[in-house]
């Protein structure tokens, strides 16, 4: 699944997870790839007939309306997609006034749907899709030295430093004699206790809370190697050590440095892919040719011309593209606004630029969907970049959207 489809799916699931029905009237439907669609429609007709027995008139109307809309949506498919199909439909509150609108979302899952499922409930059943979205490859990061240890997790396009453990161990003792030997014995005991704490927290973070596919250990000096030799790490983590990296820092900063220096071992991790895209853009910005554009108008123009090779968009861009076709003169008027402005509906009174009338036929799309439509004509690659990463923050300083160009 490409980054655009993944972003759209996550956005839909996030929206649906907060929705509830006034009764048991929200439909969740999962169809496995080998299930014939005419059999599904037949089953939904039976459900429509059974819904006639619902006592509440409002709930009955909403359930039957959702079933009809779902059957209509299924008619748009000639056959079940190769991974199956998920449909969510129901009457949802559209605004603060309490008005309800019958809403439907159909999703082609990133992995195969295993079993047929129909549910009519007061919420949407999203667990199956949420489980599919879990990252298959999660990596644990340990950045260790004698003073502190940073513990981080790389998952998809996210990297989080989940904890920093401090050792509390004093530095090396410079005086000689028995005092020095006693000090070193105490220091060894404290170091052993510190190593046990690192191993215990790694077990909790990397096996209990997450199931990491591998561990990368970094840090300055020899402390990291001494820790590995103790074999205090759970045997599953010990066996999954991918590499050991020398860094200048430890703790949280060291965990980030360890990640940056591990790129060759993490090529298939989404976070590293996003790093490469943004770094390629930044390098192009500073080159003499500067085959780049950034900003809404510039990126859109490069898509229309077909000069954009790769378009980068942060995942928090919240804009809508609206095409207003005048019903009198058939002139197309284009508006790009924020979602908040879209919901306020101030744009639909804008007079036609040709005849000044305000009667329109409208086509409303998320800006990412609009960019995707434009990209189809030129084979442009669109990549959604997480706004929570360092690279995402860099891209946001260029208005959150940029293009690497084939030519000017």
pLDDT tens digit string along 46-97?
Answer: 999 999 999 999 999 999 999 999 999 999 999 999 999 999 999 987 655 5
Give the torsion through C-alpha atoms of 274, 280, 285, 288, to 10 deg: 180
Nearest to 315 by CA among 394, 374, 390, 368: 368
Taking phi first (over 0 means left), then psi (-120 to 50 degrees means alpha), and beta for anything else, what does residue 257 get?
Answer: alpha
DSSP structure class, residue 263: G
Q: What is the pLDDT of residue 127?
A: 94
Q: Rounded CA gap, 29 and 121, in Å?
A: 11
CATH code of the domain covering residue 162:
3.30.420.60
- 3-class secondary structure, 209: coil
Question: What's the total number of domains in the chain?
Answer: 3
Q: What is the CA radius of gyration of the chain?
A: 28
With cut-offs at 50, 70 and 90, classify the pLDDT of residue 171. Answer: low
- Residues 317, 233: one domain? no
Determine the average pLDDT of the residues in 215-235: 96
pLDDT digits (tens, 9 = 90+) for 349-373: 778 888 888 888 888 889 999 999 9
CB 145 within 8 A of CB 253: no
Domain boundary among 268, 287, 321: 268
Q: What percent of the chain has pLDDT over 70?
A: 95
- The answer on 65 and 22 residing in a single domain is yes
User: Which CATH number fits the domain that encloses residue 97?
Assistant: 3.30.960.10
DSSP letter assigned to residue 123: B
Q: Is residue 397 located within the same domain as residue 280? A: yes
Residue 180 has what pLDDT? 67
Judgement on whether residues 59 and 168 belong to the same structural domain of the protein: no
pTM of the model as a whole? 0.80
Query: φ, ψ for residue 362 (rounded to 5)?
Result: -115, 145
CA-wise closest residue to 219 among 264, 170, 167: 167
d(CA 40, CA 118): 10
Query: Are 369 and 353 in the same domain?
Result: yes
C-alpha distance from residue 15 to each of 19, 123, 155, 211, 339 (Å): 7, 12, 22, 27, 14
Phi, psi of 92 (to 5 degrees): -120, 145
Question: pLDDT at position 172, please?
Answer: 58
% the chain with pLDDT above 90: 69
Band of the pLDDT at 133, cuts 50, 70, 90? confident
Q: Which domain holds residue 329?
A: 275-405
Read off the pLDDT of residues 256-314 as tens digits, 9 standing for 90 and up. Answer: 999 999 999 998 888 999 999 999 999 999 988 889 999 999 999 999 999 999 999 99
Q: Which of 4-13, 177-186, 194-203 has the lowest mean pLDDT?
A: 177-186
* Residue 361 CA: distances (Å) to CA of 165, 324, 346, 348: 60, 6, 15, 10
Strand partners, 404: 292, 310
Residue finishing a domain among 133, 161, 177: 133
Beta carbons within 10 angstroms of residue 402's beta carbon: 28
Strands 319-326 and 360-366: antiparallel
Element (H, E) at 13: helix 3-17
DSSP string, 7-63: HHHHHHHHHHHT-B-SSS-EEEEEE-TTS-HHHHHHHHHHHHHHGGG-S-HHHHHHH
Reported as type and span, the H/E element at residue 133 is: helix 127-133
C-alpha angle 343/346/351, rounded to 5°? Answer: 140
Confidence of residue 184 (pLDDT cuts 50, 70, 90): confident
CATH of the domain at 378: 3.30.1330.30
pLDDT at 135 exceeding the cut of 90? no
What string of DSSP letters covers 343-368? HHTGGGGPPPTTT----EEEEEEEHH
Q: Is the pLDDT of residue 144 over 90?
A: yes
For β-strands 148-155 and 138-144, DSSP reports them as antiparallel
Measured between alpha carbons, how far is 89 from 102 in angstroms, rounded to an integer? 7
The two structure tokens encoding residue 318: 């919240």
Average pLDDT, integer, range 173-196: 76
Please check whether residues 181 and 199 belong to one and the same domain.
yes
240 token code pair: 């999954």
Give me the phi and psi of 20, to 5 degrees please: -135, 150
Provide mean pLDDT across the span 391-397: 94
Residue 45 shares a structural domain with residue 96: yes
CA distance linking residue 199 with residue 217, whole number of Å: 12
The strand pairing partners of 20, in sequence order, are: 123
Pair (283, 392) in one structural domain:
yes
Instruction: Give residue 188's pLDDT.
Output: 87
As a whole number, the mean pLDDT across the chain is: 90
Of 101-105, 132-136, 263-267, the range with the lowest mean pLDDT is 132-136
CA distance readout (Å), 387 to 62, 315, 317, 372, 394: 38, 6, 9, 19, 9
Do 351 and 258 fall into the same domain? Answer: no
Bridge-partner residues for 88, per DSSP?
A: 28, 105
Residue 98: is its pLDDT beyond 70?
no
Domain boundary among 268, 293, 325: 268
Q: Clarify whether residues 284 and 297 are in a common domain.
A: yes
- Does 85 share its domain with 172? no
Please tell me whether residues 90 and 153 are part of one structural domain. Answer: no
């Amino acid at each position: 699944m490409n980054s655009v489809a993944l972003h759209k799916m996550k956005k839909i699931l996030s929206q649906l997870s907060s929705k509830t029905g006034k009764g048991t009237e929200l439909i969740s439907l999962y169809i496995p790839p080998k299930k014939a669609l005419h059999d599904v429609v037949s089953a939904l007709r039976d459900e429509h007939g059974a819904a006639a027995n619902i006592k509440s008139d409002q709930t009955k109307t909403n359930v039957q309306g959702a079933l009809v809309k779902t059957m209509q949506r299924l008619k748009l498919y000639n056959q079940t997609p190769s991974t199956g199909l998920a449909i969510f439909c129901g009457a949802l509150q559209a605004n603060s006034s309490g008005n309800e609108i019958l809403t439907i979302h159909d999703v082609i899952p990133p992995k195969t749907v295993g079993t047929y499922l129909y549910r009519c409930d007061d919420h949407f059943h999203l667990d199956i899709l949420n489980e599919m979205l879990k990252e298959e490859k999660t990596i644990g990061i340990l950045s260790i030295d004698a003073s502190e240890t940073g513990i981080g997790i790389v998952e998809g396009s996210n990297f989080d430093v989940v904890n920093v453990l401090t050792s509390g161990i004093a530095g090396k003792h410079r005086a000689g004699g028995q005092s020095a030997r006693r000090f070193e014995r105490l220091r060894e005991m404290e170091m052993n206790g510190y190593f046990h704490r690192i191993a215990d927290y790694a077990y909790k973070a990397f096996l209990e809370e997450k199931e990491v596919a591998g561990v990368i250990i970094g840090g300055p000096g020899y402390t990291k190697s001494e820790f590995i030799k103790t074999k205090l790490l759970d045997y599953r983590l010990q066996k999954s050590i991918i590499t050991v990296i020398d860094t200048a820092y430890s703790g949280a900063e060291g965990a980030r440095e360890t990640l940056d220096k591990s790129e060759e071992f993490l090529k298939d991790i989404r976070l590293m892919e996003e790093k490469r895209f943004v770094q390629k853009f930044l390098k192009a910005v500073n080159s003499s040719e500067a085959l780049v554009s950034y900003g809404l108008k510039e990126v859109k123009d490069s898509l229309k011309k077909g000069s954009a090779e790769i378009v980068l968009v942060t995942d928090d861009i919240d804009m809508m593209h609206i095409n207003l076709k005048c019903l009198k003169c058939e002139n197309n008027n284009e508006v790009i606004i924020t979602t908040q402005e879209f919901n306020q509906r101030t744009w639909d009174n804008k007079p036609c630029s040709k005849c000044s009338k305000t009667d329109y036929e409208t086509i409303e799309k998320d800006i990412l969907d609009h960019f995707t439509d434009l990209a189809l004509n030129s084979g442009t690659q669109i990549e959604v970049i997480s706004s929570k990463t360092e690279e995402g923050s860099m891209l946001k300083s260029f208005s959150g959207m940029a293009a690497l160009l084939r030519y000017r």
